[in-house]
A and B are shown apart, each in its own frame.
Chain A
Amino acid sequence: MLIAGIVIILILLLGLSLYNGLIRKRNAVDNAFHSIDVMLRKRYDLIPMLVDTVKGYMNHEKEVLTRLTELRQAVIAAPMAMNQRVETDNSMMQLFSGVMVSAENYPELKASENFLRLQGAINETEEQLAASRRFFNAAVNDYHDAIGTFPSAIVAGMMKLKRISYFTIDDDKKERPDIKLS
């Protein structure tokens, strides 16, 4: 009787420890996603700066600039599901890259101090965003290991924990703005 009691207590303690471990890993994923969110917002804040800096120089890209502004407004106006957010973000980045490449055709723009500062700011944000993505993917990997391996998989099943998508960018959308370091 006593032995059965001890075994039950040990099983409960193990279950509790596994439960807490899984919660910590899920929180780590949330925390990592939050850091991506912060960086994405930093990137969105650069869009009005970019538009203000280039609009006086670029005559043929007005439509692109308008589309970029619209996308930014859409993404900050209402919360989006993660997948939709990634899609919108990738579309923005394509337009963003396009504007930066087009800037090569405007020597005066390229030489302006505001544009150079902006290039630096974009590069900095991209580096931080890449770091946040890597942290998120590492946290997701840890979480997947926990929910997929014995014995925590049993507790994860009882908690109905599901796999989470990695933060990946399609290969054709991986291009970053062409930035030269000062």
Chain B
Amino acid sequence: MQDTNSFSTFYHDQLSGLVEQIEMERRKLVRRQAVGYILTITSVIALFISMQSDSQGLTIGAMVVLIAGITLWAITWEGRKGYVRHFKETIVRKVIEFIDPSFQYHPKGFINENDYKRSGLILDKHDDYEGDDYVEGKRERTFFCFSELKTTRTEGSGKSRRTVTLFNGLFFIADFNKNISGRTYVWSEANPQLDFFKRIFSSVADGLEKVKLESTEFESRFIVYSTDQVQARYILTPSFMERMLRLEQKLGTGISFSFLQSEIYVAVPVKDKLFEPTFFRPNDYESVGDYYNTVHAVIDIIDELRLNDRLWGKE
């Protein structure tokens, strides 16, 4: 993978021209949106005055301006979607290709819902499942994929109806470097999944036992359940626990892990959309560098957890 210095060279050699084009598109949209705002506000004021003065001409004029303002808004809204698509297809794709040309990027793709459910990282049932910015590839010997995901559930009815976000962030799957057969879950203490009721009713809870580990720091950050006490410790060696803690410090509180069917699943809660371009702030070296750093940080999970260190019997 490339380092930050070579990213700087890459940006100035290959990206700055494209970013400039995208910037022109953005500025045009911002101007259009500003005109839409002005027309709408002016027409509303004009309508108010016309109602006071009973002027028919002013009313008709204000209505025409209002329609023009709303039309401009609608056009800008469509234009924004096109701008986001264009940005991802050119800038984000180029950044990912720069990191490794073999990586595949699908702006509209996302992690399969079955994988999300199988991971057991978020046990609450969701009503809506959406995502984007799917990346997959092979880092040395380790296959990985990740995408942004958002899952929500609707609660209540009538006026008390509300949407609860269950997960919003990055969801990462990779080959694990050891042969494992059981299920081991490392949930964040900030978001423990297995409460009293889920222990009784959730199928994930079948055969799970709490695993007490030696590291007090790890125990204070995570809560571990597994179907196999020995295997949980085979996965969570003292050095691996330290690496997981380091990863938590780097990516933020709330990160959870699960290990099943020789794969590792990682859920990283993030508030913002990570790969969306800014609309009201200019795109520049710094903002594009943020996309580069984000992709790097995710792929670094493989290096941080040393998933490329393979043991006998696991290729």
| Cβ contact within 8 Å between B311 and A131 | no
- From B209, which residue of chain A is reached at the shortest CB distance? A28
Q: Does A32 contact B (CB under 8 A)?
A: yes
A-B contact count (CB 8 A): 45
State which size class the interface on B falls in.
10 to 19
CA gap between A116 and B207 in the complex, in Å: 37
Residues in A neighbouring B237, C-beta threshold 8 A: 127, 130-131
CA gap between A35 and B147 in the complex, in Å: 39
- From A127, which residue of chain B is reached at the shortest CB distance? B234
Residues in B neighbouring A127, C-beta threshold 8 A: 178, 234, 237, 311
Q: Does A121 contact B (CB under 8 A)?
A: yes
CA gap between A127 and B178 in the complex, in Å: 10
Residues in A neighbouring B309, C-beta threshold 8 A: 181
Select the residue from A121, A130, A131 with max chain B CB neighbours within 10 A: A131
| Cβ contact within 8 Å between A135 and B230 | yes
| Cβ contact within 8 Å between B233 and A124 | no
Q: Does A120 contact B (CB under 8 A)?
A: yes
Q: Does B229 contact A (CB under 8 A)?
A: yes
Instruction: Tell me the smallest distance from the CB of B231 to a CB of chain A, in Å.
Output: 7
* Interface of A: prevailing SS: helix
CA gap between A181 and B178 in the complex, in Å: 13
Q: Does A97 contact B (CB under 8 A)?
A: no
Residues in A neighbouring B213, C-beta threshold 8 A: 138
| Cβ contact within 8 Å between B313 and A131 | no
Q: Does B214 contact A (CB under 8 A)?
A: yes
Residues in B neighbouring A117, C-beta threshold 8 A: 312
In the complex, which residues 233-253 of chain B have their Cβ closer than 8 Å to any Cβ of chain A? 233-234, 237
Residues in B neighbouring A123, C-beta threshold 8 A: 311-312
Instruction: Tell me the smallest distance from the CB of A116 to a CB of chain B, in Å.
Output: 9
| Cβ contact within 8 Å between A32 and B229 | yes
Q: Does A182 contact B (CB under 8 A)?
A: yes
CA gap between A134 and B212 in the complex, in Å: 10
Instruction: Tell me the smallest distance from the CB of B244 to a CB of chain A, in Å.
Output: 16
| Cβ contact within 8 Å between A121 and B230 | no
Q: Does A114 contact B (CB under 8 A)?
A: no
Q: Does B85 contact A (CB under 8 A)?
A: no
| Cβ contact within 8 Å between B313 and A135 | no
| Cβ contact within 8 Å between A181 and B311 | yes
Instruction: Tell me the smallest distance from the CB of A134 to a CB of chain B, in Å.
Output: 5
Instruction: Tell me the smallest distance from the CB of B226 to a CB of chain A, in Å.
Output: 10
Residues in B neighbouring A152, C-beta threshold 8 A: none
Q: Does A128 contact B (CB under 8 A)?
A: yes
| Cβ contact within 8 Å between B233 and A135 | yes
Q: Does B198 contact A (CB under 8 A)?
A: no
In the complex, which residues 106-131 of chain A have their Cβ closer than 8 Å to any Cβ of chain B? 117, 119-121, 123-124, 127-128, 130-131
| Cβ contact within 8 Å between B311 and A124 | yes
In the complex, which residues 123-158 of chain A have their Cβ closer than 8 Å to any Cβ of chain B? 123-124, 127-128, 130-132, 134-135, 138, 142
Instruction: Tell me the smallest distance from the CB of B237 to a CB of chain A, in Å.
Output: 7
| Cβ contact within 8 Å between B312 and A121 | yes
CA gap between A123 and B106 in the complex, in Å: 39
| Cβ contact within 8 Å between B313 and A134 | no
Given A131, A142, A181, which contacts B233 in the complex, CB threshold below 8 Å?
Answer: A131
- From B214, which residue of chain A is reached at the shortest CB distance? A134
| Cβ contact within 8 Å between A131 and B312 | no
Instruction: Tell me the smallest distance from the CB of A125 to a CB of chain B, in Å.
Output: 9
Q: Does B310 contact A (CB under 8 A)?
A: yes
Given the interface pairs A127-B237, A134-B214, the reply to whether A120 lies near B230 with Cβ below 8 Å is no
Instruction: Tell me the smallest distance from the CB of B295 to a CB of chain A, in Å.
Output: 26
Q: List 30 A-B residue pairs with CB atoms under 8 Å apart, sorted by A's residue number.
A: A32-B229, A32-B230, A35-B230, A120-B311, A120-B312, A120-B313, A121-B313, A123-B312, A124-B311, A124-B312, A124-B313, A127-B234, A127-B237, A128-B234, A130-B237, A131-B231, A131-B232, A131-B233, A131-B237, A132-B230, A132-B233, A134-B214, A134-B233, A135-B233, A138-B212, A138-B214, A138-B229, A142-B212, A181-B311, A182-B310
Sorted from nearest, which 10 A-B pairs have the closest CB atoms? A120-B312, A131-B233, A131-B234, A134-B233, A124-B312, A121-B312, A124-B311, A181-B309, A135-B229, A135-B230
